């Protein structure tokens, strides 16, 4: 799963400081929304992708006339999830499989099943979920564009034709993880000539793949480096990886205040966010140093919002 190799920590005091210091927005609503409706405080955890998608949903709502403020970079899920439940923030873009597991459920490789389980888990609570995006941020098997072209591969299963000849690189703990080397062996029948322990989808892995030290790498599926380097994310055609689609999670009282129109707006945004687009946005943020709010504005304009 996506978070199995990514560790983020933050002091709880960051939340209180960020909620005071980072709040922004205009409380004056315009358009066909209740004039006296509550301000929707959009939060995020502490990495670039979260800032981008947080801005996308916040700007879409603001453009539609909803009063919005933002509280970004609040910290890890262990900090931000309680903030959402307590009402310190009202909306958070989450990841279906990771959140379901965090809440004590069991994710599956099927996006709809995982989403339904998450929705059922929150039924009768103060939280609800809008629809999920096609985009997923999870473990991905990646090769270079040249390798994909030379060997005619587009799916992970295609690698089996080269069993015994390829070098695979990933996190040091990969050989002991069911969603890494164990799964690639058991589910896909892959037999690599060598495994090279590198880092957690970081610069060592990227450099090794680009430099030809490894043939196949484990990266995160929405990593900006995939778009930047022209890497190819192979299709997980045997469904090894649990689903981890992005999904807006919001307080039920906000939905009750604004009704189905708000959910429809969020769903229309979610429907257009793909993994490839997310990778490109992440690339522009992390490698091209473009601001998340500008990226969100451009994406919304390009997609008719």
Give pLDDT tens digits for 204-263. Answer: 999 999 999 999 999 999 999 999 999 999 999 999 999 999 999 999 999 999 999 999
pLDDT surpassing 70 at residue 190: yes
> pTM for the full model?
0.87
Model confidence at 55: pLDDT above 70: yes
Of 27 and 223, more confident: 223
Number of neighbours of residue 288 by Cβ within 10 angstroms: 10
CA distance 70 to 150: 46
φ/ψ of 249, rounded to 5, equals -110, 130
CATH topology of domain 2-136+242-302: D-Maltodextrin-Binding Protein; domain 2 (3.40.190)
Residue pLDDT, tens place only, 135-149: 999 999 999 999 999
pLDDT at site 27: 41
Residue 14 host element (H or E): helix 13-21
pLDDT reported for residue 36: 72
Q: Where are the domains of the chain?
A: 2-136+242-302, 139-233
pLDDT at residue 7 greater than cutoff 80: no
Model pLDDT, residue 14:
40
* Domain over 139-233 is classified CATH 3.30.565.10: no
pLDDT at 35: 52
Tokens standing for residue 70: 């933002």
Looking at residue 32, its pLDDT comes to 58
pLDDT over 50 (residue 28): no
Residue 11 has pLDDT above 80, yes or no: no
Calculate the dihedral angle through the C-alpha atoms of 23, 82, 91, 41, rounding to the nearest 10 degrees.
-20
pLDDT at 34: 53
Q: So what's the pLDDT on residue 20? A: 42
Rounded distance, CA 46 to CA 26, Å? 23
Residue 2 reports pLDDT greater than 80: no
Find out whether 256 and 18 touch, Cβ atoms under 8 Å: no
Compute the average pLDDT of residues 158-162: 98
Shortest CA distance to 197 belongs to which of 5, 2, 3? 5
């Amino acid at each position: 799963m996506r978070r199995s190799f990514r560790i983020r920590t933050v002091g709880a005091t960051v939340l209180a400081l960020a909620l005071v210091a980072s709040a922004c927005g205009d409380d004056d609503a315009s358009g066909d929304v209740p004039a006296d409706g509550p301000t929707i405080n959009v939060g995020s955890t502490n990495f670039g992708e979260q800032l981008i998608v947080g801005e996308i949903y916040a700007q879409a709502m603001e453009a539609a006339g909803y009063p919005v403020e933002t509280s970004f970079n609040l910290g890890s899920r262990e900090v931000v999830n309680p903030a959402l439940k307590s009402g310190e923030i009202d909306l958070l873009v989450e990841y279906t499989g990771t959140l379901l597991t965090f809440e004590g459920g069991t994710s599956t490789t099927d996006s709809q099943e995982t989403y339904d389980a998450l929705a059922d888990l929150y039924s009768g609570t103060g939280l609800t979920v809008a629809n999920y995006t096609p985009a997923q941020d999870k473990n991905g098997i990646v090769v270079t564009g040249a390798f994909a072209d030379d060997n005619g591969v587009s799916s992970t299963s295609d690698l089996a034709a080269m069993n015994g000849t390829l070098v695979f690189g990933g996190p040091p703990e990969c050989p002991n993880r069911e969603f890494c080397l164990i799964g690639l062996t058991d589910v896909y029948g892959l037999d690599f000539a060598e495994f090279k322990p590198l880092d957690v989808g970081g610069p060592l892995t990227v450099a090794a793949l680009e430099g030809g030290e490894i043939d196949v790498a484990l990266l995160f599926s929405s990593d900006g480096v995939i778009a930047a380097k022209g890497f190819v994310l192979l299709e997980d055609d045997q469904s090894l990886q649990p689903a981890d689609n992005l999904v807006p999670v919001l307080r039920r009282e906000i939905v009750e205040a604004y009704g189905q129109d708000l959910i429809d707006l969020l769903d229309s945004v979610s429907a257009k966010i793909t993994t490839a687009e997310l990778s490109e946005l992440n690339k522009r943020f992390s490698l091209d140093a473009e601001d998340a709010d500008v990226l969100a504005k451009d994406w919304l304009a390009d997609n008719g919002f």
